[in-house]
Amino acid sequence: MSVSHEITLFETSFFKPVPGTFHPFARLPIELRRLIWTSCLERQRIITIKLISQRLPDDRRYLVKSQDGYRHSVLLWVNQDARYTAREFFSIRIPCDNMPVPLYCNPEFDTLRIHQGCSMGVECIADFLPKLVAYDARGVGVLNLALDGMAFERPVTTSETTLLPIVGDLQGPALEGFVSVVSRLRCLWLAYLEQGNMRNMGPLDFPGGKVHHNRSAPVFPALQTFERLPVDPRPIESDLRHLATFHDPRRQIEEWRRFEAQFKVHREHPLELRIMLAVKSPCIVDRGTAQSYFDRSEETFRITCCDFMGILYAPWGEYLTKGEWEVLRGRLQDAVGFWLFTPKAFEESHYGYKRVRDLANHPPELCLSDLGS
């Protein structure tokens, strides 16, 4: 059964291109042109780095790879002056094993997300982060960091806390370098991006054969630039009352706080700790692929939750007609990006079956990805 109408995406004017061309730009003073170029670069991005365990001839402990589809700024290739401005702005240059040129980052505007392989431990993060200071021409390193929510799990069977023993094995300069990097962090996001059923949850996921189509859950794409909204402005209260996350972030929050206390981490600025939630979809790279993804998501839910009489399940097991379902589908726009929740949202939430939570009293921030024109 085909979808009868086009899925609407939630976007803002932030990403819409400004029409027209300013022809006298080349005649402007170079200082003014560089200010304009810099203003074009000042966009928030989330950059994914993969640490992959692999034994190499030079006895390296892991490979460093950028995410698939990483896009360098076009200003690096416009002309010599634009390239100079971009290289000044992107002071961090990270050598990656899958790229012929370094990955360019700005510590003020970019959030570095470190994605680990299943066999990796947090000891590789402790080894990698101090190196970013050496890769930075200004010696700043990373200020905004996103770690996989399960990054603190060791690849062994243990009931002990995992972060502290690993970092506790570091000695001398290695430990000092890691604690120094952590002390300068301004933002730390614990990312949970693998919950595929957070949008489409079938009868087997919940007691009583109930189902839920959570259209409000954003989808994390293979894109970098985003706009951060202080609160998700869409009508998402109903979905937040029945949000399935499948993982419990509280243990990771507690471990991070214990680590900071043990090593007496001193900060000049308070740390912004957030829980990052989204459904991951690397296939989304632009508006067209986003439309295709949401079309398939709608069709999957329709097929999964349609009985032999052509009656559909509404959210949480109530029945409705096909016409009522069509009206319901058009009330909420889909979002490409991710949510940011405060730790308080999970520390105070009720944990139900399959880790379903009521987060209606803790509306999240919405980070919208740039889908291009």
* Average pLDDT value for residue range 132-139: 92
pLDDT (tens digit per residue) in 67-86? 877 888 888 888 889 899 99
Q: What is the DSSP string of 35-71?
A: HHHHHHH---EEEEEEEEE---TT--SEEEEEPTT--
Q: What pLDDT is recorded for position 242?
A: 76
- pLDDT of 104 above 90: yes
The reported pLDDT for the residue numbered 214 is 79
Q: Are 202 and 304 in contact (CB under 8 A)?
A: yes
Going from N- to C-terminal start, the domains of the chain cover 25-202+224-284+338-369
Q: Is the pLDDT of residue 206 over 80?
A: no
More reliable by pLDDT, 177 or 3: 177
Higher pLDDT, 62 or 325: 62
- Tens digits of per-residue pLDDT, 290-326? 999 988 887 777 776 665 445 555 555 555 566 666 6
DSSP state of 362: S
Mean pLDDT, residues 170-175: 73
So what's the pLDDT on residue 233? 93
Cβ-Cβ contacts under 8 Å for 133 (sequence gap 6 or more): 139, 140, 141, 177, 181
pLDDT at position 23, please?
72
Q: What is the pLDDT of residue 56?
A: 62
H-assigned helices in 136-249 = 163-168, 172-184, 237-240
| DSSP one-letter code for 194 | B
> Quick one: pLDDT at residue 315?
54
Percent of the chain scoring above 70 in pLDDT: 73
CA distance between the termini of the chain: 29
Which region among 117-121, 232-236, 248-252, 282-286 has the lowest average model confidence (pLDDT)? 117-121
Q: Does residue 105 register a pLDDT over 90?
A: yes
pLDDT band for position 119 (cuts 50, 70, 90):
very low
pLDDT at 157: 46
